[in-house]
Amino acid sequence: MQLTAILKKTKQFFIRLSIIGFFALLLDLIYLDSRVKNAFSHQAWDIPAKVFARPLAFYLGQELQLEDLLQELRLLGYRKRLKAVKAGEFERYQQTLIIHTRPFSFWDGKQSSLLLQLTLRNNKIVSLIDFSSKKSVNFLRLEPLQLGNLLINPAAIEQDRQLIQLRQLPADFLSALLVTEDRNFYQHWGISIKSIIRAF
């Protein structure tokens, strides 16, 4: 009888201890969560809004002086080459230019890179041809000149960050990141207890 009473009291003691331990752990997790949120809130960064000039558009019959076009190409960093094989290069033959345009996402959709043959006569565009397919082009824009960035957070003025998609990263960079940070990234279920302990 006495042994049963002792076992009952011991059981009640461990139940109470487990409840106290559970609430202590819960409070500790809440405290740690607030510490982590507070630490990361000071390191948050804003995505800068990019400010662009108006894009130079091409269409048949447009009035355009050759010097203005060459100046625009220089401002955009286009390089004159004997053969424009890469985006950002152009060739010149008197009043005819072959421009390898860069791809750009405009407000109304993405424009792919194109090898454009543009001919001027009397300061007007008289011919716009896709040099690769030899088909006529009705309308095309050069990517606009970036004038600067607008940063909401003054403390982030030294930063110039860009959001990119995972597929835009080189495969070697991803491999190096996985080797450095978590070799077993594809083997565990999302959280590596071993790596968390190692970090402490």
What's the pLDDT at 182? 76
Structural domain includes residue 159: no
pLDDT tens-digit profile of 20-29?
888 888 888 8
Rounded CA-CA distance 200/193 in Å is: 11
pLDDT tens-digit profile of 150-197?
666 655 555 666 777 888 888 888 888 888 877 777 777 767 777 777
Could you tell me which residues are beta bridge partners of residue 141?
A: 57
Structural domain includes residue 154: no
Asked whether residue 85 falls in the same domain as residue 130, the answer is: yes
Query: Given a cut of 60, is residue 87 above it in pLDDT?
Result: yes
Query: Given a cut of 70, is residue 43 above it in pLDDT?
Result: no
Distances from the Cα of 60 to the Cαs of 6, 72, 114, 138, in angstroms? 99, 18, 17, 7
pTM for this predicted structure: 0.56
Asked whether residue 59 falls in the same domain as residue 135, the answer is: yes
Asked whether residue 177 falls in the same domain as residue 114, the answer is: no
Strands 115-120 and 125-130, how do they pair? antiparallel
Domain with 8 in it: 1-44
Structural domain includes residue 157: no
